[in-house]
Amino acid sequence: MAWRFALCAGGLSYLLLVGNGGAENADFDPRANPPPNPDLVQRGAFVFLDPRLSPPADRACATCHPGGGSDGKLYRAGEPVAPGTPGARRTPSLRGAGESSPYFWDGSAEGLRGAVERMLRIEMRGASPPGYDVDALEAYVRSLPRFDRGRVRPNGTPTEPVRLSARRGLDVFRSSGCVDCHPPPAYLDRRSHDVGTGGRYDTPTLRGVGEMKTLGHDGRWKSLAEAVDAMLISAGVSLSPEQRQQLLDYLALL
Ligand code: HEC
Ligand code: HEC
């Protein structure tokens, strides 16, 4: 049953991408990002779930990226590691990956193809599928629509009904400078910055950030509030408790 579901989900993602992308998203340029071939996307959804791909046959892409998202766990070279281990990296969600290059927390892969190839080599323990299946994995990942609860418009303004606090949170998000590095609609700027976490890291999307159990490149933050407090310190902004809550309420809409 699982694979049938994946095939449907792959097809659906494709429809969502084609259906939503054009009108609402100013970033979306159909010439730069032609819609992926639906047969490849379906094949990719299948390969993504297949543990036989990795030589020890003990893991699929979906083990760490369930549903194309993130398991919220930390790994180093494909091995699970405890928080605080040097070199630990939290699995990023692949939702919206088509618009989030460069890839990896250190931004070391320019293109999605290179990112998928590294995953096959390291995280998937030297998996070497035929080229068609690598194309399929790439097309599937590219087809995953960005996480979207439908609670904010592409310009970041909340849709109704929304609590007043969350609406005010957008003003705080703007006035605190969050928007400089996390601009809507994807809430990332495709650049790396040093925000006081021990180096330069690729700005992550804030889409779906309220769902994350671990935040930061190495899982250093255990809650959204902890991450936001660290970002405020890095930005040199101090907020009243009320404004801080408004900011958190806004982020929970994304
Ligand atoms: C063992 C867990 C694990 C497996 C299995 C795994 N990944 Fe990953 N994936 C990660 C981690 C951890 C990162 C972040 C690595 C980093 O930034 O250094 C990542 C990053 C990525 C990225 C870059 C995303 C971004 O926005 O930076 C892509 C694309 C990706 N994985 C696709 C795949 C594909 C396709 C497969 C199967 C071929 C796969 N992954 C298998 C854990 C895994
Ligand atoms: C100078 C650019 C910059 C600014 C300004 C900025 N951020 Fe970030 N943000 C980043 C980077 C880079 C990271 C990743 C840091 C890391 O993981 O080490 C990050 C990470 C985060 C995370 C964790 C996301 C995750 O998936 O782990 C949250 C939440 C966040 N920022 C919210 C905010 C908020 C709220 C503001 C405004 C107060 C803000 N950021 C301002 C660049 C910025």
2-143 homologous superfamily: Cytochrome c-like domain (1.10.760.10)
Task: Looking at the CA of residue 90, tell me the nearest atom of ligand 1.
Answer: 12
Distance CA 153, CA 19 (A): 16
Partners of 99 in the β-ladder: none
pLDDT attached to residue 6: 43
Q: Which ligand is nearest to the CA of 236?
A: 2
Segments making up each domain of the chain, as ranges: 2-143, 164-251
Looking at the CA of 108, which ligand is closest?
A: 1
Same fold, 2-143 and 164-251: yes
Say yes or no: CB of residue 231 within 6 Å of ligand 1: no
- Say whether pLDDT at 74 is over 50: yes
What distance lies between CA 61 and its chain's CA centroid? Answer: 15
What is residue 8's predicted lDDT score, i.e. its pLDDT? 43
Number of the ligand 2 atom closest to the C-alpha atom of 215: 27
Specify the fold of 164-251: Cytochrome Bc1 Complex; Chain D, domain 2 (1.10.760)
Give the atom of ligand 1 at the shortest distance from the alpha carbon of 124.
Answer: 5
pLDDT category of residue 108 using cuts at 50, 70 and 90: very high
Q: Does the Cβ of 212 fall within 6 Å of ligand 2?
A: yes
Query: Ligand 1 centroid to 157 CA: how many Å?
Result: 31
- Of all protein residues, whose CA lies closest to atom 41 belonging to ligand 2? 178
Q: What is the pLDDT of residues 133-169, one digit of tens each?
A: 999 999 999 999 999 999 999 999 999 888 999 999 9
CA of 91 to the centre of ligand 1 (A): 6
Burial 219-246 (b: 16+ CB within 10 A, else e): bbbeebeebbebbbeeeeeebeeebbbb
Cα 116 to ligand 2 centroid, rounded to whole Å:
25
pLDDT number for residue 160: 85
